[in-house]
Structure 1
């Protein structure tokens, strides 16, 4: 079985499909134009140049739309750091939250086959359409049956959490509230013009008593907005707003969006819904006895869902962290300094190691020793000393600033003689001298302090 968009196949048989038995999504990716503002394009190109996202127009469009794209090494590490911090935030919130893992593809996720993203074998689909002796109605019936038998891929984690609710009750002795959390790839449904694209989602499904669901929605909104602002260079660019009544999901009585002001406009990063108990009852076919919990009285819990788009969130943090500053330099070199001031906890590279003047072999040995120390301390380091092309420190600093590297450590002749190295800060550009034995602890304390701020 292979996942395929079947637009090319369907186009050969377009006359057959004048009728639409159900709204199954089956088309190619639609493209939305990139930001018309030049700064938006320049920003995306910078992320490509500095290994956050892979090159290519389509890939840049996916990234700008908030879809999962091909990430470079730094983008992959940034996303991993974000997901780690998301999990820490929900698990350390004082609430009882359990991690779960659900199937990405399920045959029983939607038995009617309508309104779902389906996976099917393109060859099997083509063979079904090639029965030219069949009438249009017969072909439609066969296609409909094929899609009914085909498994659905998830568009969110809600159903998986609802199915895990009853098995999880034993863990909490049937006491409310508690939550089930999951992260991974989901398919973003198409708007009718293209094939669904993958999105890196975070999900917290919170089960609480009916009388407290509104308060819990407010509680999680405050925590989630605080989380986004904690890692932001400009926290005011992150805001929350109520979902208009006409845009509420079917089962939801209230919704809140956490949004970011991109150069190309506002986009939602997370959506929180107060969903009531309808979907939970539907999952367990209305059997209330299975669902009743103790919260002072026996009741079927209400559901509050918190769904985040970490691909769009990654773009938000990159966009928010970018600064273009005038450099005070009497030589008038590099009059402007571009820098990604990513939060120290999220920054993909904490330290860059480079060598200055001196015996190259011995200096590299020192660098290798330091690199090993950083790795053992789980501090990501960039081995700049392996660069074979000669580059001035001025240009290296400019490169590392655009990569978002926190500190640049230069090992030179003084290191071999006295153990001293030069350390440059990304945020202040101040250079200070430090003993080589102090570097690891200095960086660790710096990151820890930023995390606790």
Structure 2
């Protein structure tokens, strides 16, 4: 059934994750070189199928808003989400995963009559309401206010599941609730239309006396996580939120930042929210909020809210390397390489064919492709290209796609089982037996994970 978003003509911002923070930190960059590099990379995203073409789509992606992704961008996004989830579920701390609805039914007065949130309505329902009561504007407004409210963050859903999970852990602290999903925020480009953002959220419950230490702990953990996958870790940093940027119940906030060519933008916001939201949500059942930590205190809430779309953009910008090389006739050319971390790279291996009987070489590649997929190693079927390119040109293309290795199957493979393996990061070409490839790639990725 077709649905659409409805907003008030004069909405007020009521978001836990505020896009305003990102726009306040945006600044013009004095370095034309950085801006040129930014334009090169954004065009590269389109050319190499990370995002779909179109100026509007590129601008959405640049702003850290969900856009139309190409096959490589889709895979990269899934890899980032997977690693984020793994970092939470695999941590020493107790974290539960949940999945909540993108909308909720609220009372007309639940948000004080304000219209800071996009809502989900059926167009025909609005039309019918206006036809039946064309002069009753107040009734139409009431109808819209009763419509489901699209979430602007994942905090509310976690708070709503607090008591059952609190009982599950026998009211012992600390513990966390993690979720990833779509949220909707009003654009600040003047249109004030809803924009979709992919968020990753951890809501952490701890005792009041340890909340400050836990916030510092999670700041260190999250900064370490972002830097783990970075080619240039120093581009990621943290900074306390100024008092005038703290919203609602937040007493202290910290942002994880990335240095883009146009200025710093926040990737994650970490906040100490105190106990006010729990007390407000669970009025009359205060006894169910008391922990068994010896002091029977109301837990304090810490929130970690990340923008995955902007994080993906940060990893791509951070991975771009430009190398000048001397080509034929003494001409200088620029080699572009996306040195994405092995765990994030959307494609690990490309399979190409060299000289030899094309039909037989393709059969070898097809067998190797099946073997790699069984080992859960993503591969690019370069051998299927109808117009084969020179090997050097193929390597340049795969470097721009961030592919870790290019495996060339040739006539020599048919005779001895040997293939040539070229590394994206070192450009070194090695010869190894085809039977060793799977283990070699698995060891390489595993070693990168443990660094």
Q: TM-score, normalised by structure 1?
A: 0.90
Distance apart, 1:105 and its partner CA: 1.1
Question: Which residue, 189, 194, 198 being the options, matches 1:196?
Answer: 194
1:340-379 matches, within 5 Å, as 340-379=338-377
Paired residue for 2:325? 327
Q: Counterparts of 1:366 and 1:132 in 2: how far apart (Å)?
A: 71
- More deviation, 280-289/388-397: 280-289
Counterparts in 2 of 1:109 and 1:427: CA distance versus 1, 3 Å: farther
**RMSD between aligned residues:** 2.3
1:171 offset after TM fit, Å?
Answer: 2.2
1:286–1:210 CA distance, 2 compared to 1 (3 A): farther
How much does 1:285 deviate? Answer: 1.7
Deviates more, 1:420-429 or 1:192-201: 192-201
* Equivalent residue, structure 2, for 1:118: 119
Looking at structure 2, the residues matched to 250 and 330 of structure 1 have their Cα atoms a distance apart, in angstroms, of 62
Of 269, 272, 276 in structure 1, the residue corresponding to residue 270 of structure 2 is 272
CA distance in 2, matches of 1:382, 1:398: 14
Matched, 1:164 2:166: no
- Name 1:13's counterpart in structure 2: none
**2:248 pairs with 1:250:** yes
Instruction: Single out whichever of 438-447 and 84-93 deviates more from structure 2.
Output: 84-93
Q: Residue 377 of structure 1: CA displacement?
A: 0.6
**What does the per-residue CA deviation read over 1:101-132, in whole Å, with 9 as the maximum and x for residues that have no partner?**
11111113873452222111223324444579
Aligned pair partner of 2:106 in 99, 105, 108: 108
Query: Residue 286 of structure 1: CA displacement?
Result: 4.8
Aligned-pair CA distance for 1:372: 0.5
| Structure 2 CA distance for aligned equivalents of residues 82 and 218 of structure 1 | 23
Contact kept in structure 2, 1:274 and 1:304, CA below 8 Å: yes
What's 1:3 paired with? 3
1:301 pairs with one of 272, 296, 299: 299
**1:69 counterpart residue number:** 67
After superposition, give the CA deviation of every residue in 1:208-229 in whole Å (9 maximum; x if it has no partner). Answer: 0000001110000000000000
> Post-superposition shift, 1:24?
8.8
* Structure 2 unpaired stretches of 5+: 15-22
Residues 109 and 400 of structure 1: CA distance in aligned 2, closer, same or farther (over 3 Å): farther
- Describe the shift of the 1:133–1:430 C-alpha distance in structure 2 as closer, same or farther (beyond 3 A): closer
Aligned to 1:406: 404
The aligned residue for residue 395 of structure 1 is: 393
Contact 2:117 2:185 in 1 (8 A): no
Task: Decide whether the 8 Å contact of 1:24 with 1:117 is kept in 2.
Answer: no
Cα distance between partner residues in 2 of 1:274 and 1:24: 20
Residues of 1 paired with 2:235 and 2:401: CA distance?
22
Aligned to 1:14: none
Relative distance call for 1:100 and 1:58 in structure 2 (3 A) is: same
Rounded to whole Å, the distance in 1 between the matches of 2:5 and 2:170 is 46
Say which of 221, 224, 227 aligns to 2:225: 227
SS, match of residue 77 in structure 1 = helix
Asked if 2 retains the 8 angstrom alpha-carbon contact of 1:352 and 1:381, the reply is yes
Q: Please report how far the alpha carbon of residue 280 of structure 1 lies from its aligned counterpart in structure 2 after TM superposition.
A: 0.9
Which of 344, 362, 381 aligns to 1:383? It is 381
For the 8 Å contact 2:201–2:303, the answer to whether it is kept is yes
Question: Could you tell me how far 1:287 is from its partner in structure 2?
Answer: 2.3
Provide the C-alpha distance between the structure 2 equivalents of 1:318 and 1:234, rounded to a whole number of angstroms: 11
- Does residue 1:179 correspond to 2:183, yes or no? no
Deviation at 1:360, TM superposition (A): 1.1
* Distance in 1 (alpha carbons) for counterparts of 2:146 and 2:271: 31
Q: Do the aligned partners of 2:350 and 2:406 also contact (CA within 8 Å) in 1?
A: yes
Q: CA deviation at 1:295?
A: 1.8
2:94 corresponds to which residue?
Answer: 96
State the partner residue of 1:148.
145
Shift of 1:58: 1.1
Aligned partner of residue 167 in structure 2, secondary structure: helix
TM-score (structure 2 length as normaliser): 0.91
The answer (yes or no) to whether the contact 2:326–2:332 under 8 Å persists in 1 is no
What are the within-5 Å matches in structure 2 for residues 207-226 of structure 1? 207-226=205-224
Alignment correspondent of 2:17: none
Gaps of at least 5 residues in structure 1 are: 11-16, 26-31
Q: Is the 8 A contact 1:351 1:409 kept in 2?
A: yes
